[in-house]
Amino acid sequence: MSKLFIVPTPIGNLEDITYRAVRLLKEADLILAEDTRTSSNLLRHYGIETKLQPYHQFNEHSVLFNTLCKIATLDSVCLITDAGTPGISDPGFMLVRECAKAGIEVECLPGPTAVIPALVSSGLSCEKFIFEGFLPRKKGRASKMEQLKNHEYTFVIYESPFRLLKTLLNLKDTLGKDRMACVSREISKIHEEHKRGTLGELYAYFSNKNIKGEIVISVAGNKTKDDKDISDNEDDMGDNDED
């Protein structure tokens, strides 16, 4: 029976891949890759010689049906992206959906994603959080910022180094310069950095930097004083409970 494996790949350090992922990539009949040139470097590193076929955001709609038909004729197909887990701000969602509709088994391996390391390293509350991916560049950007302003929980967004300053400025102006946040970049690479501070401080810091690498921004939720007082009271009540 045909099966599609969603295989996360390293977001930086090539060692951040599981033994199982390497084995499945070696055993697969075909690997669908976001960028065959980028993926070839990873495959060469691990001695993987499986055939590659492009599958990316620019051809996803046009090749979806033919790709689905090909998967149906093979035993094992792996989907990978340039870095991280396919489907998370990367191509993959439509293929998974159509495979499920066609009765093709889909299995996603656990593995690298930039969201969790950035969130946990931020020092912000991560018991509950909201992942927004990339913000709209133009249409809907202002309204999305207003929505984020009132979120109770920490939210996480992706950004490119070329738009970081604009996004920090937008966040600072909308959420307020004193909202706590963290900018993470180059996760799992040599120059990994997690810069913590207020939105005002982060904007000032990166205004004087040559910004490189993929960016993840974690921003504290909108916790008012009343919210904190209620939470503190609930904790106190819990401490006074009798066994």
What is the C-alpha to C-alpha distance for residues 170 and 141, in angstroms, rounded to an integer? 9
| Both tokens assigned to 33 | 């890759």
Cβ-proximal residues to 215 (8 Å cutoff; 6+ apart), any chain? 158, 159, 160, 161, 164, 183, 184, 185
Give exposure, 160-185, as e/b (b: 16+ Cβ within 10 Å). Answer: ebeebbebbebbbebbeeebbbbbbb
pTM of the model: 0.86
> Among all chains, which residue has been given the structure tokens 């060692």?
15
Q: How far is CA 36 from CA 4, 79, 102, in A?
A: 18, 12, 26
**155-189 tens-digit pLDDT:** 999 999 999 999 999 999 999 999 999 999 999 99
The answer to whether the CB of 183 falls within 8 A of the CB of 215 is yes
Give Cα separations from 210 to 32, 40, 227 (angstroms).
34, 29, 39
* Domains assigned to the chain: 3-108 (3.40.1010.10), 115-226 (3.30.950.10)
Give the whole-angstrom CA distance, residue 7 versus residue 24.
9
Residue with the two structure tokens 């904790």: 235
- Nearest alpha carbon to residue 9 among 31, 32, 42: 42
Is 76 within 8 Å of 26 (Cβ atoms)?
A: no
Q: Where are the beta strands (DSSP E) in the chain?
A: 3-6, 30-33, 52-54, 76-80, 105-108, 129-134, 154-159, 180-185, 193-198, 215-219
CA angle 208, 154, 161 (to 5 degrees): 30
Q: Does the pLDDT at position 20 exceed 50?
A: yes
Query: At residue 229, does pLDDT exceed 80?
Result: no
- 231: pLDDT strictly greater than 80: no
What pLDDT, in 10s, does the model give residues 48-100? Answer: 999 999 998 888 888 999 999 999 999 999 999 999 999 998 889 999 999 99
Q: What average pLDDT is seen over the chain?
A: 91
The pLDDT-based confidence of 224 (bands split at 50, 70, 90) is low
- Alpha carbons 229 and 30: distance in angstroms, whole number: 56
Whether 234 has a pLDDT exceeding 50, the answer reads no
